[in-house]
Structure 1
């Protein structure tokens, strides 16, 4: 009986193996079909279409075309209003890729947000092509989204926290000192006009990468031995921490463009060989000192302080803070 059962078990095992193979084949077929569906879906959402509106080109995919078309139309109209046809139409705007995966929901907010993105990318290209000196003064940035009250609050904190020569007087309303803090009208000795020599070793500590071997040696000599010649060698205007961050400069340009109206951009970029202050005054149609007075007034209004502290008390507190900071400079870090 045992022998018969053993003999009969062989065909049963063979049947189980055959069933297992059939199930595996079915599973493989299912996986193959799923992969084909995924490839088909990916092909439908791959960037294989281009929307062109004026000089704005957006590389996209079929499911995005209606959304991209509406956003590109809106962005192009805004660019024409902002810069004028004579500036926008000849500009070389790079192709903008959008929409490699997924299918968006077409809503008015989506169109508006996408249009803002297209306009921002295009505006950067226009500014960089039209006005390289201004973008260099803005350290690679361009006038773009409006500077907010929060941004100006940060500018006030920088004026209070960075021990640069012009900062405290600027914070108290001295327009010429604000010009110096913003890098306007600075002579050949940028380092000396911005910072006293006692601060140079700390400034050298703050600069980062991109230094040659000789620069690294100078940086070490400046930091460790206080070698002022070495400090001057490494603390070039491009590397030097400015008394006020780029948002402060962007806000001054914003004020000039707002004051000058529709033709402000053309006046600003008409002669890029002129000094920045002359061009800002031409764009605004008012002396640059007027812009600086408006600038510092806005910074003072945005200054972080307690809900009941008057402005003059905040200023006095900040002056004392700077005095203490200067005395303790060797052990401090700046923003």
Structure 2
């Protein structure tokens, strides 16, 4: 046993207390939403449900799977996430691999130009006009192409290629007659599964939670992602439209919307919550890679 000084013991106690408080602050909203989604909406509206579900009720989940708009938005989000993440990975690899090679002339200048876009952009209005001129408004591609690559993720992947894959392996492959494409697909990528997992998580979470581009560029409801459907649901539940109905009907509608919005929040975030534990170690590794100089 290590004999710790009084200062170390006090430091540990303070750390445990602070981390416990942070854990409570983070977990309570998650547990509240989950409990509210399976509780009687009336008990939630009256403030009787704090943490443990009251009057267990799955009617809200039943309504979700009967609501065509929610299912359509869920399908759109899955499609945008899958196609967008695939394109993101291709573009990121194609940019990061040549920038990681020491024999690539002008890589410093190109990296500087790419990094420049992290600090300065055209802004919302010029971007909107560009997308309009490209005839991408209210199309599937407007959710994919404008976000085809992230400069930050390019830097992370480039740094991984430079520091985690020995240059001697690539040189040996080139001596054996391997082309750059063969070296990339047969040598570099098989050794890069950790960073690929990090990129999948980064990009997939970004696409899954994206709503702003849809809000600006989409007008057809059949193309809305789940996040925009959820936004409409939350706005509708808080708009007070139910007051126009009779008192009893208004209360029933309010209770129905209250339970439904909590259930949709759970369903919307469930895939990412399931995915994260499996990629957690890669996520942490990706953060550490990005903190290193390259």
* TM-score normalised by structure 2 residue count: 0.26
With a CA cutoff of 8 Å and minimum separation of 6, indicate the structure with the bigger relative contact order: 2
Larger helix percent: 2
Q: Which has the larger radius of gyration?
A: 1
